[in-house]
């Protein structure tokens, strides 16, 4: 008998009972006003948000919040504030010195202000290399909790996606909170 067979036989001998899987009826928290909770939580994690009114233009909001941004990357066709298309760049390193990246979120989570972003740009470094990040999100695409969120993520297809919640943060160095250490220094969510 080889070692693999010995281990498997030992496991079989010592496994006395087989238990059924427990019923996982989890009643996760829900929020009556997901937009309000999302905004509160986003501020708590260091981000900011703007809810567009019917007459506001997303480009005006971006110009107002980032008047000094010179290098603005976005693949969104309705963003017209002096942007360049990052998908036209050959190498991700060409994204260095990007002041502002504007991307679209698929949906947001009220409990932790996380936004699911399916990779819809050529270079995923865009989400992390820009000094500031703007995420445009449909305010009707908010869910209350991560249980609802994971049901919306399509795990049948292989690709890159991530949840982003506020600017990057670390407290590793002498337990001092540093914002923007390994990603954008600021995140603003524009809810349209």
Annotation: CATH topology of 31-191: Rossmann fold (3.40.50)
| Contact present, 122 and 113 (Cβ < 8 Å) | no
The token duo for 3 is 């070692």
| Contact present, 85 and 98 (Cβ < 8 Å) | no
CB count within 10 Å of CB 146 equals: 14
What is the residue extent of each domain of the chain?
31-191
What is the per-residue pLDDT for 148? Answer: 93
How far is residue 116's CA from residue 109's CA, in Å, rounded to a whole number?
Answer: 8
Share of the chain above pLDDT 90, in %: 51
For residue 62, pLDDT over 80 is answered with yes
Mean per-residue pLDDT, 55-70: 92
- With cut-offs at 50, 70 and 90, classify the pLDDT of residue 160: confident
For residue 28, pLDDT over 70 is answered with yes
* Sign of the alpha-carbon torsion through 69, 71, 74, 78: positive
What is the per-residue pLDDT for 27? Answer: 82
Three-state secondary structure string covering the chain = CCHHHHHHHHHHHHCCCCCCCCCCCCCCCCCCCHHHHHHHHHHHCCCEEEECCCCCCHHHHHHHHCCCCCCEEECCCCCCCCEECHHHCCCHHHHCCCCEEEEECCEEECCCCEEEEECCCCCCCHHHHCCEEEEEECCCCEECCHHHHHHHCCCCCCCCEEEECCCCEECCCCCCCEECCCCCCEEEEEEC
How far is residue 190's CA from residue 111's CA, in Å, rounded to a whole number?
Answer: 18
Share of the chain above pLDDT 70, in %: 99
| Contact present, 130 and 186 (Cβ < 8 Å) | no
How do residues 78-136 score in pLDDT, each as one tens digit?
998 878 888 888 998 999 999 999 999 999 999 999 999 987 788 888 888 899 999 99
The token duo for 12 is 């079989």
pTM for this entry: 0.82
For residue 158, pLDDT over 70 is answered with no
For residue 47, pLDDT over 70 is answered with yes
* Alpha-carbon torsion angle 116, 120, 121, 127, nearest 10: 0
Mean per-residue pLDDT, 142-146: 96
Q: What does the mean pLDDT of the chain come to?
A: 89
């Amino acid at each position: 008998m080889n070692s693999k067979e010995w281990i498997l036989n030992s496991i079989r001998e010592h496994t006395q009972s087989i238990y059924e899987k427990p019923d996982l009826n989890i009643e996760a928290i829900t929020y009556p006003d997901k937009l309000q909770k999302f905004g509160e939580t986003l501020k708590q994690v260091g981000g900011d948000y703007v809810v567009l009114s019917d007459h506001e233009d997303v480009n005006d909001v971006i110009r107002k919040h980032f008047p000094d941004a010179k290098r603005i990357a976005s693949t969104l066709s309705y963003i017209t504030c002096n942007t360049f298309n990052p998908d036209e760049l050959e190498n991700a390193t060409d994204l260095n010195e990007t002041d502002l990246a504007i991307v679209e979120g698929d949906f947001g989570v009220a409990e932790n202000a996380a936004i699911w972003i399916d990779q819809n740009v050529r270079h995923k470094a865009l989400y992390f290399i820009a000094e500031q990040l703007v995420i445009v999100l449909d305010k009707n695409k908010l869910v209350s909790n991560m249980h609802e969120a994971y049901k919306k993520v399509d795990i049948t297809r292989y690709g890159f996606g991530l949840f982003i919640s506020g600017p990057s943060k670390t407290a590793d160095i002498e337990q001092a909170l540093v914002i923007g250490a390994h990603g954008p220094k600021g995140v603003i969510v524009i809810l349209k």
